[in-house]
């Protein structure tokens, strides 16, 4: 059995989810709603030339793996936000032994950010 991941989750990130509501005129209003915080560990995105080429060939951007508790209610499309940036969840992976949940996330940058 693998050890619990809790001691490796070294930061708290705000968890935001997109919420859509009817605007009464046939359209939809979309807004981001904070649903809580999650303890997390943000790993570096792959930076080797081979990793960049493989991601590009697959039609994807490089992602940051973010690890959270296995019971965390994190879903595709959620945003995880911290003081150093925001990440949008693009995929979730659960190992065969439920000791963590890995969320592959794309860094979200506002206009004018580098």
- The CATH number of whichever domain residue 79 belongs to comes to 2.40.10.270
Whether 30 is covered by a domain: the verdict is yes
With bands split at pLDDT 50, 70 and 90, how would you rate the model's confidence at 49? Answer: low
3-state secondary structure of 114: coil
Domain that holds residue 14: 6-108
Answer whether residue 33 is part of any domain.
Answer: yes
Please give the Cα distance from 63 to 40 (Å, whole number).
15
pTM, full prediction: 0.75
* Section 94-106 average pLDDT: 89
1 part of a folded domain: no
The angle formed by the CA atoms of residues 87, 37 and 106, to the nearest 5 degrees, is: 10
- Assigned domain for 114 exists: no
Dig out the tokens for 41 from the structure.
């560990």
For the chain, how many structural domains are there in total? 1
Specify if 93 maps to a domain: yes
Whether residue 10 lies inside any domain: the answer is: yes
């Amino acid at each position: 059995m693998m050890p619990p991941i809790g001691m490796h989750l070294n930061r708290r990130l705000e968890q935001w989810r997109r919420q859509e509501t009817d605007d009464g005129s046939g359209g939809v209003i979309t807004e981001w709603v904070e649903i809580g915080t999650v303890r997390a560990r943000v790993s570096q995105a792959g930076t080797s030339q081979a990793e960049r080429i493989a991601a590009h060939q697959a039609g994807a951007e490089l992602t940051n793996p973010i690890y959270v508790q296995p019971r965390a209610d994190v879903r595709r499309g959620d945003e995880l936000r911290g003081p150093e940036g925001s990440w949008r969840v693009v995929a979730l992976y659960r190992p065969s032994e439920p000791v963590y949940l890995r969320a592959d996330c794309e860094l979200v940058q506002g206009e004018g950010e580098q």
